[in-house]
């Protein structure tokens, strides 16, 4: 039997998130065989709408074979066919369902970064489309989260099938406050960092790109970030695991980095290109159905009472001029870090709870 929540998710992704229209060109990418049940439901809904639908099933085992055997000219190759497909695509739906989150852990980081830089033109082009990304529950991701598969499925669907009207009200209230703000400052354990956001655009996130969702983001002035921040949320990036990361900023640039392990890989990522040591995003996590980290950025960056910052490329909706082949979200959870958030010197959030009277009602 098909889990009825899959049908709800498929309708959410095709009708609410991407608003597919008849005759539009839709690309569905499923990363991993576990995601096929949802792929079928999304495909069904997109075809019923009347779209021209293409789907792909990709697998990290194939990626590992490529990186283990590819020559330099293959790593630097950018397919013209893929670029043409990206230009034609009007809607992209991605389902992440990897069977082994550590499949690429032993691969040389330099090879993956070389390929990422080579195909940046394709990534940039396809992200001009309307797109949504969903992290499908798999045994591997359930194990990473420390949950049974059934508990993990409940966690994921509960974080996506939420009261979007209430979340919209909270984001709109916070947006009106932030429009007048010049500086965001975060003070927490091993953290004191300030962001110049004067004149920057703030964007509400309500399920149009990511599922789950629930964040409000901007980009700081590129050279307007100073201080130190300790990210206390474990993260997996390009097959490498970090339990905590500490970054020191001066005039927008990371001048020093520390981590519990894989520090050499962290430095390689930060040295990807000219933009990878600068921030392309700073954001508030607002989804209070997500309370604990599960080693999936897509979920962890939305934790209610958190902030995250992305190294690398900024989004076109909230630009700051920073460009990079990477966009890596790193999260600080304020309940655990005893964090405080100040807007132009005024305390608005303490230990993950709003203290601003306009926002207090959204704490529950």
Per-residue pLDDT at 1 = 57
Per-residue pLDDT at 29 = 96
Per-residue pLDDT at 109 = 85
Would the pTM count as exceeding 0.85? no
The count of other CB atoms within 10 Å of the CB of residue 351 is 15
The 10s digit of each residue's pLDDT in 165-195 is 999 999 999 999 999 999 999 999 999 999 9
Three-state DSSP state, 331: strand
Per-residue pLDDT at 302 = 96
Kindly list the distances between the CA atom of residue 241 and the CA atoms of 98, 244, 261, 266, 353, in Å, as whole numbers in the listed order.
Answer: 16, 9, 8, 10, 29
The 10s digit of each residue's pLDDT in 53-111 is 999 999 989 999 999 999 999 999 999 999 999 999 999 999 999 988 888 888 988 99
The 10s digit of each residue's pLDDT in 306-356 is 999 999 999 999 999 999 999 999 999 999 999 999 999 999 999 999 999
For residue 285, how many C-alpha atoms fall within 13 Å in the half-sphere facing its CB?
A: 33
Taking residues 128-149, what's their average pLDDT? 92
Question: How many Å apart are CA 304 and CA 73, to the nearest integer?
Answer: 44
The 10s digit of each residue's pLDDT in 31-55 is 999 999 999 999 999 999 999 999 9
Question: How many Å apart are CA 162 and CA 298, to the nearest integer?
Answer: 16
Question: How many Å apart are CA 78 and CA 81, to the nearest integer?
Answer: 9
Residue percentage of the chain with pLDDT more than 90 = 86
- Phi first, then psi: what are they for 343, rounded to 5°? -115, 115
Per-residue pLDDT at 278 = 98
- The full DSSP string for 112-145 is HHHHHHHTHHHHHHHTTSEEEEEE---HHHHHHH
- Phi first, then psi: what are they for 30, rounded to 5°? -110, 115
Domains along the sequence of the chain with CATH: 4-160 (3.40.1830.10), 164-363 (no CATH)
Answer whether residue 233 shows pLDDT above 60.
yes
């Amino acid at each position: 039997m098909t889990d009825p929540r899959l049908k709800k998710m498929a309708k959410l992704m095709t009708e609410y998130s991407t608003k597919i229209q008849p005759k539009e060109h839709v690309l569905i990418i499923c990363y991993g065989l576990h995601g096929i049940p949802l792929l079928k439901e999304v495909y069904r809904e997109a075809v019923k709408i009347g779209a021209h639908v293409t789907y792909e099933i990709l697998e990290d085992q194939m990626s590992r074979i490529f990186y283990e055997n590819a020559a330099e000219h293959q790593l630097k190759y950018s397919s013209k066919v893929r670029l043409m497909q990206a230009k034609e695509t009007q809607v992209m739906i991605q389902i992440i369902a990897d069977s082994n989150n550590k499949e690429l852990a032993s691969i040389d980081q330099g090879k993956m970064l070389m390929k990422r830089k080579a195909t940046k033109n394709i990534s940039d082009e396809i992200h001009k489309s309307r797109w949504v990304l969903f992290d499908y529950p798999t045994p591997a991701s359930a194990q990473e989260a420390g949950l049974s598969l059934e508990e993990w499925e409940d966690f994921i669907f509960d974080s996506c099938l939420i009261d979007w009207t209430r979340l919209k009200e909270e984001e709109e209230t916070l947006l009106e406050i932030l429009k007048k703000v010049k500086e965001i400052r975060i003070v927490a354990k091993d953290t004191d960092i300030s962001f110049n956001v004067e004149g920057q655009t703030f964007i509400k996130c309500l399920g149009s790109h990511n599922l789950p969702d629930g964040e409000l983001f901007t980009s700081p002035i590129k050279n307007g970030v100073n201080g130190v921040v300790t990210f206390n949320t474990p993260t997996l990036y390009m097959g490498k695991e970090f339990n905590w990361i500490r970054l020191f900023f001066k005039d927008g640039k990371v001048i020093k980095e520390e981590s519990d392990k894989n520090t050499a890989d962290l430095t390689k990522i930060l040295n990807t290109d000219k933009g990878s040591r600068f921030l392309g995003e700073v954001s508030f996590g607002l989804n209070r159905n997500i309370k604990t980290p599960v080693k999936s950025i897509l979920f962890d960056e939305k934790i209610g009472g958190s902030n995250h910052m992305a190294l690398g490329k900024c989004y076109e909706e909230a630009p700051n001029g920073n460009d990079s082949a990477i966009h890596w979200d790193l999260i600080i959870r304020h309940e655990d870090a005893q964090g405080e958030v100040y807007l132009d010197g005024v305390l608005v959030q303490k230990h993950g709870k709003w203290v601003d009277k306009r926002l207090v009602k959204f704490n529950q």
